[in-house]
């Protein structure tokens, strides 16, 4: 069983409760509970056909769960192929199969129409006793904060690992019987749908899944202050007229006007340049992925000297030790070249290894301090990367491609969490 860092969890929970009681948080997050209760009551995986399940899931995206907005936006936007349909018939078929048997290998092999976080949102609602809703990879630093560990940043590995940790959080929240802040409005909403159904006295399993998701969302947005709001910017009218996009499975021709909500694009606000000094950098604490994310955000526009100081604290601090442990204390370049990846053993039994920032932090590139920019290397290759005939030819979400002595070597990333 995964063990919570108790003092961190308790502090987060205490502040979460205060936030629910003293802000408009509950009102702003009610939409997902309305969605969950609508879907959970409408869909019966055991007796309905795949086609019917699919139709009801699609119908849920047309319901006004929040003011005049329809559906759940993170589900719609999480469709893998960037179309407006957030679910496909094969997805519904998978839901039905999983309701009858526990075969998680199916999740990693079937042809998905959505991302794994969005898949967990559907499964956490339709099969709440088996799955928890982990609707975004933004929750990775939440897991790191509460458990002191880093999980995979994408794919089936993210799905499986995040499920394990969120199940623990869910059981802790249930055991503490926190006040059901969302329950009165849930009952009010369900009463409108089904006037003769008695009110719920307690959260059901589906509600607890979304309470768990809500708790994690609070930690990410408020407690860790990692949320960067996006602003909407209308697209150029000429480009709008010429646009060719897919809407509900129908391609709009260039002479058709597009709706405002479709033609909006999201643009990140300009980052605020912080006033940071070398003295501040020397005092920074780098112990976890949460610290790393915070530092990357804080020192994004710092001077090369300041960022170099931070990079050394990362390479030599306790986060680096954890990164080395995950890498197995191997030189990733030696291993790729087919050489012995291990150096000499230290007195504690661990092999000696060093961490290296592939993109120099002095380049002021966003994400250069993050774990996705680190590799583990032996002392010899570390010096060669800095002073030898070595070049970075390509960087993708999954790998680095180095040219070392006129030969190309692709090194798989240990982490793909680029900020």
Phi, psi of 323 (to 5 degrees): -60, -45
Give one DSSP letter per residue of 135-162, joined into a string: --GGGHHHHHHHHS----SSHHHHHHHH
Neighbours of 114 (CB within 10 A): 21
Cross-strand pairs, 298? none
- Within the chain, which residues score under 70 in pLDDT? 1, 77-85, 228-320, 360-372, 415-419
CA distances from 279 to 284, 300, 318, 364 (A): 9, 16, 20, 19
Res 324: pLDDT: 82
C-beta of residue 8 within 8 angstroms of C-beta of residue 181: no
Res 116: pLDDT: 86
Instruction: Tell me the pairing of strands 407-412 and 390-395.
Output: unpaired
Give the pair of three-digit tokens for residue 14. Answer: 């205490």
The Cα 13–Cα 404 span in angstroms is 50
Interval 75-114: pLDDT, tens: 776 555 444 467 888 888 889 888 888 777 777 777 777 8
Number of separate helices (H) and strands (E) present in the chain: 18, 9
Res 146: pLDDT: 95
Neighbours of 232 (CB within 10 A): 10
C-beta of residue 299 within 8 angstroms of C-beta of residue 276: yes
HSE, side-chain direction, 13 A CA sphere, residue 322? 16
Res 339: pLDDT: 93
* Alpha-helix runs per DSSP H in 114-225: 116-126, 140-147, 155-176, 183-193, 205-218
Interval 34-74: pLDDT, tens: 999 999 999 999 899 999 999 999 899 888 887 777 778 77
C-beta of residue 146 within 8 angstroms of C-beta of residue 5: yes
Quote the mean pLDDT of the chain.
78
């Amino acid at each position: 069983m995964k063990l919570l860092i108790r003092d961190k969890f308790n502090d987060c929970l205490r502040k979460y409760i205060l936030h629910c009681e003293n802000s408009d948080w509950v009102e702003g997050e009610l939409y997902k509970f309305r969605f969950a209760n609508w879907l959970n009551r409408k869909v019966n995986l055991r007796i309905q056909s795949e086609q019917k399940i699919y139709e009801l899931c699609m119908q849920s995206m047309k319901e006004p769960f929040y003011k005049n907005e329809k559906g759940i936006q993170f589900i719609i936007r999480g469709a893998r192929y960037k179309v407006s349909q957030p679910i496909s018939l094969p997805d519904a078929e998978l839901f039905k199969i999983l309701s009858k048997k526990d075969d998680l290998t199916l999740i990693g092999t079937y042809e998905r129409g959505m991302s794994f976080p969005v898949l967990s949102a559907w499964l956490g609602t339709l099969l709440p006793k088996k799955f928890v809703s982990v609707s975004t990879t933004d929750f990775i630093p939440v897991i790191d904060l509460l458990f002191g560990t880093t999980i995979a940043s994408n794919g089936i590995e993210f799905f499986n690992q995040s499920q394990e940790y969120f199940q623990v959080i869910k059981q802790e929240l249930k055991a503490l019987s926190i006040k059901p802040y969302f329950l009165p409005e849930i009952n009010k909403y369900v009463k409108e749908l089904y006037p003769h159904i008695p009110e719920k006295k307690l959260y059901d399993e589906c509600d607890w899944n979304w309470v768990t998701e809500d708790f994690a969302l609070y930690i990410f947005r408020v407690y860790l202050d990692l949320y960067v709001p996006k602003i909407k910017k209308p697209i150029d009218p000429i480009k709008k007229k010429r646009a060719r996009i897919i809407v509900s499975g129908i391609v709009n021709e260039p002479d058709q006007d597009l709706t405002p909500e479709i033609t909006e694009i999201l643009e990140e606000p300009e980052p605020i340049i912080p006033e940071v000094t070398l003295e501040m950098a020397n005092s920074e604490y780098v112990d976890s992925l949460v610290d790393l994310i915070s530092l990357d955000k804080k020192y994004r526009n710092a001077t090369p000297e300041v960022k170099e100081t931070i990079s050394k604290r990362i390479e030599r601090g306790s986060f680096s030790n954890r990164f080395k442990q995950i890498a197995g204390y191997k030189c990733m370049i030696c291993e790729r070249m087919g050489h012995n990846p291990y150096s000499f053993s230290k007195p504690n039994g661990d092999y000696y290894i060093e961490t290296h920032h592939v993109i120099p932090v002095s380049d002021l590139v966003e994400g250069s301090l993050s774990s996705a920019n680190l590799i583990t290397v032996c002392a010899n290759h570390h010096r060669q990367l800095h002073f030898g005939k070595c070049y970075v030819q390509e960087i993708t979400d999954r790998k680095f491609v180095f040219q070392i002595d006129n030969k190309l070597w692709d090194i798989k990333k240990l982490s793909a969490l680029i900020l």
